[in-house]
Amino acid sequence: MNGSVRSSAGMVWRHQRLVWWIFAVNLVIAWLASLPSRATLSAVLDHSLESARMVTGFDVSSFVLMLQRPDVSTRTVGPAMMGAAFLFLVYLLFVDGGVMAVYLDDRKLSRAEFFENSGLFFWRMVRLALYSLIPLGVVAMAHGTFNKLTEKLSSDAPQERLGFFVNLAGMLGVLLLSLLIRMWFDLAQARVVKDNERQLLRTVWRSLKLAFRSGRLYASYLGVGVFAAATFGLGTWIWILLPHRAMGASFVVLEAVTAAQIASRLWMKAASARWVALLPEAALVVEVVVPVESPVMVVEPVVDEPPVSE
């Protein structure tokens, strides 16, 4: 597992321009999404002494009180945020084909080759993303049912903390299942790009079988997931400890956390691409049993030949 994690991490490092391109697009989209909020808040804060608490530092209480003012409309903030998230999701689905092509071949593609693969597999990546909503929805429904059970345990069980621990175990199970689903569809993406597959449902089914057989790959995903959670928690902790006036340092810390999350996601994709690229072809093909027909004895008819006269 350590070798697989290190090799896929080295692949992400060699092709780190993918991380920085996705990071740059994320930054630009976030800046565009902030424009409606900036226009709304500037009309209120440009001629107010309260702006000093926002310029020299971020005061949470002042910000909440400002949002409650009748002349501050927040109706434009929600649609802008949702639109930005949707646009970034479409961009990620578009570049998935090019990213997988880079990691499968482990070589630097030209811009023409990268965007050719991105456009070629875009709609297939969209379909795979829609298919992934089915198992994720099942997991979400199961988690909702489990939460109702834990609430009942919290109120009826003799031990007060029983419901809490059961809920914690359920959340851990949901995270592990979600990570398995992510690996499953990453394998499907890698196989679609590698073999130029068009029958996606068959590829998804075969990738599910492959996901259950690749225990070491799942361990790699688990390790990368722990790294992503650790970097997120560490960055958030540093951001909380920073003084309110350190606006530049806060921006750098939060953007570093964003870059680490993007790199972790590409790390998982690199691990799946490497796994599929190194598998023998026989492991990727489902065996088809062809029934063997029993041999049929063919009896030629005997034809009586007329006697030959001397």
* pLDDT tens-digit profile, the chain (310 residues): 445 778 889 999 999 999 999 999 999 999 888 887 777 777 666 666 666 666 666 666 666 767 666 666 666 667 778 888 899 999 999 999 999 999 999 888 999 999 999 999 999 999 999 999 999 999 888 888 777 777 666 666 566 666 667 777 778 888 999 999 999 999 999 999 999 988 999 999 999 988 888 888 999 999 999 999 999 999 999 988 887 777 788 889 999 999 999 999 999 999 999 999 887 664 555 443 444 444 444 445 444 444 444 4
Domain ranges of the chain: 2-279
- Asked if 59 and 53 touch (Cβ cutoff 8 Å), the reply is yes
- Asked if 303 and 132 touch (Cβ cutoff 8 Å), the reply is no
Q: Which residues contact 61 (CB under 8 A, 6 or more apart)?
A: none
Q: For residue 152, which of 140, 141, 162, 142 has the smallest C-alpha distance?
A: 162
Q: What's the CA gap between 134 and 140, in Å, rounded?
A: 10
- 10 Å CB burial of residue 86 (0-12, 13-18, 19+) is exposed
Beta-carbon count within 10 A of 90 CB:
11
15, two tokens:
């092709």
Which amino acid is present at 149? L
Q: What's the CA gap between 233 and 230, in Å, rounded?
A: 5
- Asked if 28 and 275 touch (Cβ cutoff 8 Å), the reply is no
